[in-house]
Chain A
Amino acid sequence: MAESTIEKKSGRKEKAPRSRLEKRNTLLGMLFISPWIIGFIAFTLYPMVMSLFYSFTEYHARRASEWVGLQNYIAMFHDDLYWTSLGNTLYMVVISVPVLLFFSFVCAVLLNLKIKGQSLYRVIYFLPSIVPTVASTLLWLWMLNPQTGMVNSALSVFGIDGPNWFQDPYWSKPALILLGLWGVGGTIIIYLSGLQDVPTALLEAAELDGANWFQRLRHITMPMVSPITLFNLITGVIAMFQYFSQAYVFGAAASTSENALGAPLSSTLFYSVYLYQRGISYLDIGVASAMAWVLFFIILGCTFLLLKVSDKFTYYAG
């Protein structure tokens, strides 16, 4: 709510007394958003505060938790599997996010071409996004079957002997990236909205100046959609740090043990999967909470860093 101010002779701004109407509006506004405030306090703020508290305690379900200081954080940093899970997650962030962004952008550019059946193509590309994660993962497990799956069959046409996608630790993460490419419909839609906002006048002017299609894409379209790229990059990085469902289903399917997640050979043991395992399976809520808070600050740091460096590659018209 904008505050009215009066300019004093000294040039200093001071708050003017608020009218009864403004006060009433403030009160009404607060009342209207109170359901959200209550929900936020009860279901977001309170769990976060408790999680922070538990990260410094040895958690007990029915007894008072014992304060252990930084012990959970120390235990976490001395755990080899913690570093394995962080390494796997960073692999996905560094490799998967750029690949997914590039693929989404290329698809969006193609879907933005004025061709017959454009709407149909857009629907087709978006459809996989609405398939439940577990279903799509199971489908890809079938498609990636090394001997009977469609992917290796397609590769064999070119004389390529496809890998054992979900039993080979070197290929399990690329398999998950392939799976991710299938579900980029949401990112494509956001790119499409950005592409439609690229001023036609600029593109036409460049064309008159002799710029070819690729030059127009490189020097006009890409800078104009760079805020969209930044948005997709940040949300992609956040999502990839929290990568869980596909890895959970994939790891369980690849495992020969009844309980072990992260198969083959811990190559799909991602941060959130290991956090789940520690907290839910091993009832180690203290370490799981510590992991959650470290992840929170990693994501916060990455987001801050991306925003800081985004000036170099983001163009805001106007």
Chain B
Amino acid sequence: MKRKFWLLVVSVLVITSMVLAGCGTTPAADESSDVLRVWIVWGDNPEQIQSLFDQYGAEHGVTVEVTAPVDLERILPGLTGSDGPDVLVLSGGDLVKSYAAEDLVLPLNSYVDSGLIDLADISEASVGQCMDGATILCLPWGADVYALFWNRDMFEAAGLDPNTPPATMEELAEFAQQLTIVNTDGSLEQVGFIPDFSWSHLDLYVRMFGGFWYNEDGTEVTIDSQPMLDALAWEQQFYNDYGADNVMAFTSVLGGYTSPDQGFYAGRVAMMVDGEWQVGPNFIQNYKPDLNYGVAAFPPSEAHPELAGTVVVQGTAVVIPANAPNPEAAADLLAWMLSPQIVADEMYANYNIPTSLTAAQDERFQSDPNFMVFIDLMNGANAMPIITTPISLELNDELGRIEEQVLHTGAEAQPLLTAAQEQYSQLLAEALAE
């Protein structure tokens, strides 16, 4: 009987081991390349994206399964397990270097060197977020840049020229004063400009003051540099002028980002910083088709006129996971995704900036002057890639907290930046040492 008992125990352990082995990390040996899996972190329009990839399936006799959107917590198991994607499309390059530090993504140099992927056709500024020295960790599939939107009717009502946006950041602040209407009880009826409207744009502002929170090759943290202080001080003035509580009370009643009551659409915020998708069919045209607005490059500071036309280029980053069952098939699919026609079709569908220089010449883009503002900015001399490091996400979160404290509580920026400089310099050094 004792023998039977132990036999039972051993059987349970063996079956458990088999269950665990089934959850293990070894890719299935007989994994077929007839099915390619694409995971996309964003998922605004899954049906459209699946139909796009069905074209590849039909052309190459394979099935492409698109999963979108994919939650962040699913990615790590996918990149380490046996049922992950062949191609992973991330919303930005923030995570790419931390994945690379864990050997979770394949360098793409060999596919570029072999001529499978034409790097010369890809906008240089958009590739920057993917580069680790000479190693290409990802490739961009559409880019985002931000510009200044202004409401012409509100400009006219405030006695400003509706066709002339502010030429400098200082002038923007003056315009904002003229465009702001305060009620008798001190609350805000209309606001000229809110620097963190919808979300933070600190990356753009700090570039306009001639710096960033990393040095140019991403090997040092420069979070306590003068441009950072200048950018935060510039942002803070809007909250100081209107009163932080008043601004927050004002923004809390504005409609959601995708609604007709969004502050800029509703004519309650006169100027905003936003991305190229706004001029497409899904945003302003959809929610407020009669909005009389203009769009132009965000102005530089008076101290840095040479930075006119500066944009920080970021956007979708595509990687091939290191555990992809068939990297060659994945690279073929990636090359197809980056081909000019597919880039043009996909970017036109979502109104994002085509990263293929050939695709940018597509008539569909060229005929839209508002959209061309963004394409010209991305391909301009002052287009700068977003600098990414293995600690990008962590540092961005800290910057969000600092910006929130400075703007919403009136905190002094210097001590916060100094403390963060010390903490994150060490963290980056440790991450790069690995």
Mark A residues whose CB is within 8 Å of B: 18, 23, 26-27, 30-31, 34, 37-38, 41-42, 46, 60-63, 145-148, 164, 166-168, 255-261, 263-266, 276-277, 280-283
Contact = CB atoms under 8 A, between A and B. Distances in A.
Given A31-B8, A146-B252, A164-B245, A257 B403 contact: yes
A148 B400 contact: no
Contacts of A42: 16, 19-20, 23
A167 B252 contact: yes
B400 A255 contact: yes
Contact of A265 (B20, B253, B393, B401): B401
B189 interface: no
Contact of A27 (B5, B245, B405): B5
Task: Give the 5 A-B CB pairs with smallest separation, nearest first.
Answer: A257-B400, A260-B400, A147-B253, A61-B102, A42-B19
Given A38-B16, A62-B103, A146-B253, A27 B248 contact: no
B397 A38 contact: no
B393 to A, nearest CB: 5
Contact of B8 (A30, A63, A167, A261): A30
Contacts of B79: 61
Contact of B253 (A148, A255, A263): A148
B12 A41 contact: yes
A219 B4 CA distance: 57
B292 interface: no
A12 B371 CA distance: 92
A27 B252 contact: no
A300 to B, nearest CB: 25
B20 A34 contact: no
B404 interface: yes
B215 interface: no
A270 to B, nearest CB: 15
Given A61-B104, A257-B400, A258-B200, A283 B249 contact: no
Interface string B101-112: 011100000000
Contacts of B104: 61-62
Contacts of B1: 18, 23, 27
B200 A256 contact: yes
B433 interface: no
Secondary structure at the A interface, as helix, strand, loop or mixed, is loop
A36 B25 CA distance: 24
Contact of B73 (A256, A261, A280): A280
A280 B252 contact: no
B15 interface: yes
Given A42-B20, A263-B404, A265-B408, A164 B252 contact: yes
A276 B73 CA distance: 9
B394 interface: yes
Given A27-B5, A146-B253, A167 B76 contact: no
A213 to B, nearest CB: 44
Interface string B4-32: 11001001110110011001010000000
A18 B2 CA distance: 12
Contacts of A266: 401
B405 A265 contact: yes
B16 A41 contact: yes
Contacts of A147: 249, 252-253
A283 B94 CA distance: 12
B424 to A, nearest CB: 12
A145 B248 CA distance: 11
Contacts of A63: 102-103
A280 B99 CA distance: 12
Contacts of A167: 248, 251-252, 408
B72 interface: yes
A123 B405 CA distance: 44
Nearest to A59: B102
A247 B80 CA distance: 29
B248 A164 contact: yes
Q: Which of B13, B15, B401 has the most CB of A within 10 A?
A: B401
B240 interface: no
13 contacts: A18-B1, A30-B5, A42-B16, A46-B16, A62-B322, A167-B252, A167-B408, A257-B399, A258-B199, A259-B396, A263-B404, A264-B408, A282-B393
B409 interface: yes
**Most central of A166, A280, A283 by chain B CB within 10 Å:** A283
A281 B72 contact: yes
B177 interface: no
Interface in B49-101: 72-73, 76, 79-80, 94, 98-99
Nearest to A276: B73
A145 B397 contact: no
Contacts of B396: 257-260
A168 to B, nearest CB: 8
Nearest to B400: A257
Given A23-B1, A34-B12, A38-B12, A259 B401 contact: no
Interface in B376-434: 391, 393-394, 396-397, 399-401, 403-405, 408-409
Contacts of A148: 253
